[in-house]
A and B are shown apart, each in its own frame.
Chain A
């Protein structure tokens, strides 16, 4: 892979040392870089191959791309249950600072997948160096998302023939100081409360930045909720909302590519940043 340099390193995050991965094109004059905000829990692992493929494709277009792991996730320091969504937004700010320290990037396009898209949007609100947002199959409703995630415990308990309790009982447990284990991920009271707080703080996914919203599924059209959400995001004339018929790659393994999603995102990048 001679046309780009890839480096992996640890850097100081908001709370602990974070793992960063930098894709630098060999020859580029661009000063806008792309920073990736990864999805939640196992969705991060499942989508990793497609994320890496997309990062390499964007780097071939001349963009510096920076991927990193949030505190308590991936290779970064700490335990998953010890952090909140606010910590992960601070990590994103720390990642942008590290990117600027290492490269001559001045602006960033925040690229997020699923919950990462919502965190990218939240982070963008308080920054003046954001040139755009790439939001893949975004999950903007924090409370719904975490409840849906916890609901999976009921499914796994049922399939493992364990005594399943109700969703209400699980929510009561996590709200009152007890962690709930979902497929090996401990949802702590701290983490759960941060989802509720984000839901209150960001009731609508608004942004003035040019945004590329991609809904991705095998179905012929996008889910209604995402169509409604995207209306809030279309304030900038350069924004675009598309539905891409492609295999979801964040909720199952053995997905190595998302050709259409990557190509269409590259075309949007060319449109707003030039060839």
Chain B
């Protein structure tokens, strides 16, 4: 069953959609989806609608909504940097609307994922887990480093590259210029990037968010997405994150061949199934609701191991 919902944030009306499973089970866990970029609660190529319906068919209630200034919600666009109050208002609304609710899992993509990471530590009593896909990092330095690592080095290993070199189809001048720009950008100190005049870069704030949120976090990374790979490299280089990955608090799921929004239908299907597995794993001991999910997952998909 799908229902519309609206709620207030400082006299502004925000709009969302509730996906409620067709059963009489009390709701203990809700999935809250946060949109990214300039997207609405629909998502690129209806990705948010399809994921929400998939999760709901598997027993999980979901809410998608437009944060302040996006989609149908009132106000001027504020950006992910200021999405926190909208997320808090959405969580408040869920707790007010469902008396049996015990926990919320946030699923988010792109800068919606970044907003979720920045928000979650301030509400860790209610947010039990984050499932973040290809989080956004506003760092030209890190982006250049990722391009160096994931494009230029990989390109050297490809037969097609050497075929072009040997048949004189390779433009040395053009490629050298592009490589030189990337190298120069990658050499800039990331700490010089001052995010919102806070004296720290967005990457530093994100790492703080990841490390101070003590609950479980699942990270979906598309291997063909520069933003996703940037985030992947960031957390794998950070000692505290590495420790959390080793301890199993942070789990990384690489989605081979996926782009930023999982455009390919088979990749989208894979991302949906991994999301379901991650959410169910994040909210164990969920009473009848959890048992129902586990049974359905066992029937429809195998649990992913990484």
Given contacts A45-B42, A74-B42, A253-B38, A6 and B264 within 8 Å (CB-CB):
no
B77 on the A face (CB < 8 A):
yes
Given contacts A1-B13, A253-B37, A256-B77, A181 and B264 within 8 Å (CB-CB):
yes
A268 on the B face (CB < 8 A):
no
Classify the interface of chain A: helix, strand, loop or mixed.
mixed
Determine the interface band of chain B, counting residues with CB < 8 A from chain A. Answer: 20 to 34
Contact with A along B54-91 (1 / 0, CB 8 A): 00000000000000001110101100000000000000
Interchain CB contact under 8 A, A52 and B72: yes
Interchain CB contact under 8 A, B2 and A10: yes
Interchain CB contact under 8 A, B45 and A42: yes
Q: How many A residues face the partner with a CB closer than 8 A?
A: 28
A1, A45, A77, A254: the one contacting B74 at CB < 8 Å is A1
Cβ distance A46 to chain B, nearest Cβ, rounded Å? 8
Given contacts A8-B72, A49-B38, A75 and B45 within 8 Å (CB-CB):
no
Cβ distance B295 to chain A, nearest Cβ, rounded Å? 26
B289 on the A face (CB < 8 A):
no
- Enumerate chain B residues within 8 angstroms of A254, measured Cβ to Cβ: 38
A21 on the B face (CB < 8 A):
yes
- Enumerate chain A residues within 8 angstroms of B46, measured Cβ to Cβ: 73-74, 80, 184
A151 on the B face (CB < 8 A):
no
A202 on the B face (CB < 8 A):
no
Contact with B along A247-275 (1 / 0, CB 8 A): 00000011010000000000000000000
- Enumerate chain A residues within 8 angstroms of B6, measured Cβ to Cβ: 8
- Enumerate chain B residues within 8 angstroms of A232, measured Cβ to Cβ: none
- Enumerate chain B residues within 8 angstroms of A256, measured Cβ to Cβ: 76-77
B122 on the A face (CB < 8 A):
no
Cβ distance B41 to chain A, nearest Cβ, rounded Å? 8
- Enumerate chain B residues within 8 angstroms of A9, measured Cβ to Cβ: 4
A11 to B287 CA separation, bound complex (whole angstroms): 34
Interchain CB contact under 8 A, B47 and A184: yes
Interface residues of B in 256-281 (CB under 8 A from A): 259, 261, 263-265, 268
Interchain CB contact under 8 A, B17 and A48: no
Interface residues of A in 1-33 (CB under 8 A from B): 1, 6, 8-10, 17, 19, 21
Contact with A along B10-41 (1 / 0, CB 8 A): 00110101000000000000000000011111
- Enumerate chain A residues within 8 angstroms of B37, measured Cβ to Cβ: 253
- 10 extra interchain contacts, Cβ-Cβ under 8 A, other than A10-B4, A49-B38, A160-B259? A1-B74, A6-B15, A6-B74, A19-B17, A42-B44, A42-B45, A45-B42, A75-B42, A80-B46, A184-B265
